[in-house]
Structure 1
Amino acid sequence: MPRLFSAYVIVDWSAASKPTTGADSAWIGVLKRDVRFRMAFESFNPPTRAEAEKRLNLILDDLKKRSERALVGFDFPLGFPRGFAEALKLPGDAPWRAAWDQLDKMVKDKPDNTNNRFGVASEINRRLTGGPFPFWGCPPRDTLTTLQPKKLRPHGPDDLPEFRHTDLAAKGAASIWKLYYNGSVGGQAILGMPVARRLRLARAARAWPFETEFKALTEAELAGVDIVLAEVYPSLIKGPALPGEVKDLTQVRTTAEHFARLDEANKLGALFAPAKGTAADVVLDAEREEGWILGAG
């Protein structure tokens, strides 16, 4: 059986407010065949998200010219907890896409990394609850009536869930509502989903599991598809650092190598399916709105 993918592109996103490189910045890892058809890894560390998006487009356009299908993994949530789109009264029958479209309208991310992620979260809080909930976490200077540095209260039965099903399955994944401090993913998600949206609209792409269903993927089902967008969680995959590597670079490299090994062994397709015994409502929530972390559970 042939591989599902010819290349594996892993993106470690950043919510930085100014240009930055090195640790805790944007990293792109690419594992693809070289001129001798051997798998070779290269990495990019653009100082801004604008440059990272430009680099991603160049990478994907080059792979398209070579007729090579790519798995593109983002290390931030591609969906919100179930009920988000309905609570915001977003239009359309695909809650995940409605959320992407809404963020694309709201997010302002300038070429120098200046961005309004805290303002976006504050406005969503205002529309959802009228107060500083469920999003939380910001520097004191960014405090607003509807966004506070600290978590206001626990999530109750009448609130949107704190975690998606996949966050719980991954054991240790942070809540999308946490915008700031170590381990947060909310800021990256707010700034990242519009990028994923643009990449998807610009080429023959499928966003998993929203457009592929939450099931095993086969070569036949990916006919005509150039890229599959998926959420990844590099902390699930352990691998040794090479001399001089920062943690972010190690993570994108080892994640790309992990999926390539599974693909070589004809085991990657099965990873796109839920674990045996996963409840039907969990599968439906993942497909409609929440998404899933590739390999979680």
Structure 2
Amino acid sequence: MGHLAHARKVFDVEIAGLRAVRRRLDEAFDRAVELIVETLRRRGKIIVVGIGKSGNIGHKIAATLTSTGAPSVVLNSVDALHGDLGIVTDGDVVLALSYSGESDELINLLPALRRFSIRLISFTGSARSTLARYSDVVLNVHVPREACPFNLAPTTSTTAMLVLGDALAMAVLHARGFKKSDYARLHPAGAIGRAMLLRVADIMRTGNRHAVAPETLSVRDGLLLMTRAKSGCLSIVNQRGKLVGVFTDGDFRRRIPEDDHLLTRPLREVMTRNPVCIRMDALAAEALKVFNERNIDDLIVVNAKREPVGLVDSQDLPRLKLM
């Protein structure tokens, strides 16, 4: 069997395992979500514990929960019995991960955890295991087989735990009414956070970097304004200062071969009327959406009176770490 065939077989085995776990989802999952939501409502936290590969998956589950507004910490099963139990408080909920449900380090920790007033949710492949017996809610992640040819290395089982953790985090997110703006508040340094927290007014070019011209101005003089502004776009206004059109360097290049008098024409004869624009108080994320949906390089920014006050240049977005 070739390398690609081996790879596809692993995919097939793990997909089959995920389907098996999906079919087994029942009201226990609902109870787990409700326990977590109630814990968070009472200002409790989620404590994730696991050993080996399950522990690695636990770190990712805790990170996903925390990043979506459900405060979570990872408790090391060994260090817990040497003082780290101090992170546990009454009212917390514990997510315990062990496919066998019999890992010595985890089983030794359970009696100590039960001295606290906590609720225990387990991810295990054995509904009759010691871990399952200690648990308030058991989420069964039993899979038909591992992707390992010896059916030994945790592969399908850890994938199942990971996906179940994602499902739990997303269900909790939905149940708590967690919004995109909440996500942005927790990710201020990321591209998503910046796009959701910044306004268009924060990222637009203004002043001498934004070329504005009356519609009566000639194309030649309009190009000079664009050159001084180092911009590829010219916002065109009527006598009342309202935005009525746009003229770009692309427009100029397309027209010049077929119009000998283009440079002397007034901008109103060659401009694109009713250009795409955006309000200055809109979120930067809305500007990103416009760039993604419309084939434009520059986006004119207007105020409430539809007067051009700035310009968002798509070339600025990578520098601002918005793309």
Give the TM-score normalised by the residue count of structure 2.
0.24
Q: Indicate the structure whose relative CO is greater, using CA pairs within 8 Å and at least 6 residues apart.
A: 1
Question: Which has the larger Rg?
Answer: 2
